[in-house]
Structure 1
């Protein structure tokens, strides 16, 4: 829950000086990205801006306190402030903030700006006391906010120091409105107006002007002088002399003498006790001070001018001026030291009664009351965990004695989940083992099962499939339906284990069960995870259309539950990119991969490895080797920075090996092959992929016998486990091996099987990536006209894709290629003495690529009769009589130039 007072504009106090000169300056704030009001404490920043804001409806106000240094808390309040200003225009962003469903503050703000695009009126967001923010993550996010906020949005920041918001850049670009302490200092006229509103006997203008000069226009000092004058008649000048030249850090002595020692004992006690509350209302005051009517007491303190200010329009919430509040808390530590634990306990009880457990925890910690802290956690810790209050929970659990945790093992489970959520896997098992060993009573069977569910999650994260399966199975045998979170975890882990072991049918069933349980209990990230696993399983089984439809369900879930910035969204975009690539929708595939990288923009660069591999795949399928090389340099740098899941390594190695194949880089392939460990088996698509990489490298190096053994074994496993997509890929690589060996009938046999299987998988790019060797075989099959209609259609589609993306490498015969060809020492003398024109070379390349006369005419945008003339001329110059002879001649020339056709 959000504290309402933190989102309320301060109420204009009676007799407040209206500072027309500064209000006039603020009146044009809407023309700037940032309005910055900076000064030391007590110069009236908040009062001034609240005066200006009084007549503006589309304005959100966020008052910071020390607890707002946590990015999640900061984001929740900031978005709530904008929601108030826009009457709920940004509902999706608010839901994301409440559920902590974003990767970073910048990504959350990106979603906010998308929704604000529909808001066309001027909008102001005031952030008060920004100097309390020290977290660099928040500073960086607010710099992003300022760079990208819509033109109709103005950020107004109040701070005691210059905030780290890229001020210099904004100043140079004239996008910054500044008001500093010199401008905030009271003028003589404002000081006279100030005293006239507070003293029963007005001061002469000269006298008030002198007082103003004595304290350099410092508003708090003027207020202290007025307070002193009311309490001690005739001491106004003496008070001014004492305040002259001092600053906020040296007020303690003055405040003791002139304020605290001049109030009655009951008021002094009230001030000290109530200062422990950063914000307060009637109920909290009654709890902490014991006063019968808290609201009446607060209003009385306000009337006395004791630096108490209203925080909302209803007048229910109050807070002390920051300077005075800090002073009072320090004095409270001295004067009420023995009472502090009791006071903090009372504050904690008050906050709990209002439904704010996080505020209550702060006071329970300050009270050192382990029992109260334990009780709050037992009732509210999981709600705080689900709202990402991880730092607060960790601090709380560290404050509890170990014996208290042993007596309440649910808290030990919570501590372990905190470790798991932060990827501290090694600490999880250590903690659970210690707890089980030292617990004084026998562990409840359900709790033991919950421990096992968590251990299973750790085991699968560490790649220990057998242990994960054992633990998940043990947990599911015991867990009651009420322990839904642990049952979801254990079911998910069991399904993932079966997926890794190649038992796809059972894995799919368990992941469907996980989805149903997660949806029923609103555990949305596990619902999304289960859909992603289902899609991967269906893809591995060769049911790509079903995988697509499952992904569509996942995208719908992301939209409905605002999961756009969860890392799992990147996983979804990545598998969508893989599917689009398989279907040769390369542009769409690259867009999806880049969108996945955007989701992970706030994480370590290494996390982008998978999507980067897909972008390289797209470049390779297009035959754009220069672009692929640029991305490969970055990929190889990332590969050197950490341990990776076998799937990640396999996908990264795949694009490297294909690139080496396309460029004939045998040296890199040989080095990689020597250094790459060979998986123990090939029971899933992760391991099949890496073995396929090994076989491709072996084929490139001419080690065809071991490559054939590998591929035959892969096919056996793929058929046994019904990994149909892997079988499709394996057949294509086996086809290349047979073709390279000159085993044309074997090559044709497995190619026909691959084409038939592609009617189920929809594969296109997997054929295209094999380049000209694949094109030649497809031309022959098409010319034979023996393929079934669907296979014939797919072969023609693949050939078109190869011609489009790879023709320039092999058969375009562009000017640069022809020049190198004619200077080659082995070029036939007939070609040297009877050179073809550039157009005739282009026609030869298109003939070689399998184009008909009509297709060549369309490609070159000339008449079909012109093409016939070109063909007749080039036949004569080459000394050939038929199209097939011309194809063979072109093939010989390409081989001579080093192309592996």
Structure 2
């Protein structure tokens, strides 16, 4: 007698999360013969197949066979296989009789009989083999492979398994017979995680809580459900319960140990428990921990078995366990053999240190609470880690030391100073510097301060620390806008540095570069920053090289040398990345470099690419960054929004930057770009002429220290004068400014100045003079590809451009500028007019094919996000297409655009 429950599909929860993308993949096509869903325990394999059964067309009958370890016997396996068919598909009597007549050696005949019986049936059918990993008998695997090879096209086999079955999947994949779903596919997205807790578990969680749980569980459905059931009484009653218990609770640990670990062979359990102490694994490290030489093949076997292990590269060298899986294993290892677990951590720490993987080594030392060893590692490597961009990590590691442990260790105090400096916690630095100078003074006098001789640096290293202290004082002087003191201190360090062993020249030259930039001396700044990059590469100061290269690119941008700026960024980025090949560590990001790249590509009218360089910086704005960087990022963000006619968004970013400047201006090393100048350009774009005129009447450009900012303000004043019908006053502002921009080699501003000057001359009726002035600007702009700043002067400049013959200029650049200026259909800087719908003949530029596609999808009522998914583009790209649609149609909303498109016959 067969067990009837093995043929019952599990009850489908009415609120279970539907996975349309996966159901569509399982559906396959007419050629599909087998679908596999392979993932570790608790990933929702059975639920997905069950949903497929419920969603499949009514003409397809589906049978279910819940496989278990007893089905390793071939005869039993095929008895239940036939029994499953008998529930929904065909009468089993004849097949059962045939099976009873066959001995073990001739069971293949029953498979042929099954295939023939299915082939004679009308309609479409499917059979589910749930938990196929329970089968280990190679005879059964061979027979199932034979079955699939000869299945008729109207029958499909679906299989769930925790491991990849030893079936000829590669052959079926090539023939197009196979549909596959893996753990990475089954892992819930953050959106699906929110849907799971909201719809399935009926819990209201904040977006931040959802994000934390999603990152912790990595989309593992079972872990999410266990987190929801993790309260003290078997269910989480609040959001706090979820976060408190989620990922660490006994529920998850018990599930891992009983459902996964205890089901493994003894040698696999030993390997897992021994290596789980490490966040990352390599064959060499595992060999050290286990005292063996076969870890490479062991790790490959774990991957094949889907035992919650994730390859981190394509070479098979680095792996990691799923965090919750690893934590459960570590908990058992600590509980059963705490001394052995500590020895494993010590071995791992030593191995990571020997191979220069300091992050992992330090995390193990903190877990061991070996403070002396940790202090030695930080004293030896902390400075380099800070300058490689890991200052926040170093501060956190120092905080892990017992309170007061580092107070009498000068080197650790200096490392903390640098870490806090780069973390922008400047208010904490002065007391540390005072204590450090007192310690060094006592040491020089031979006084005893109660610390061990081992804790003090040797006397011949005291000068190193004094030089570092002087360098920090110079940066603090910059923050107080005391540039003279800052320069004197920096040059003192530069003079004394040849007598010290610690490499500081790169940081010192970077400080000189900042001083020169603050004064607007771009030539001297470039020289100093070039030295900072050169010495930084020798000293392997990654963050200094990246920041110096980024600031250099920013300066080159204003000097009109965009090609050299791009080359500088590319060279510096490649050099830094050559040392950061570990994908598990965050990529170093430079505010200056990404901001420069954003500005360059914005100026070259590649707004989408510009946005990709800006996006990584926005996280720093939300999570907190140094005030000067915060302002630069928001300025660049606003400038990009301005270029996309999103004036309100630009003003919001500028207001945020102005608030930071008002609160923390004293802590900024340099004078930020003129926020008010860009804000007024936005006001002009919005047609707010009265506000713009009021600003121009009262602003004093001379209050800016940096001549670049003075020029930005003055050019904007001239723009306002032209826009408000006062071109003579604009020329009065521009005449003296022209010589200053030429002398300072501020080519970008010189191009802008000439463009605004041309519009002022044209407003006075001096067309020939305006054309001559614009021609001078075009020659400068063509050299490195400036386009947006010309376009953004609006239709007035476009009209002048039509009268100019741009001979002797780069033809490609001229064509690009032609597209922008000659076909410019709406003013960018003018009084805002009410939107009016043009007749079809009035459209100066027809809609592109992609814009027509976007228009059709808008007509379907789809959101920007859905449109982006359908077109496989970024949401920002969709927004850009919609803005273009509005401009070409002369509308300002979706409703107006659709109405006008219908009137023009663009929509049915």
Normalized against structure 2, the TM-score is what? 0.49
1 or 2 for the larger relative contact order (CA 8 Å, sep ≥6)? 1
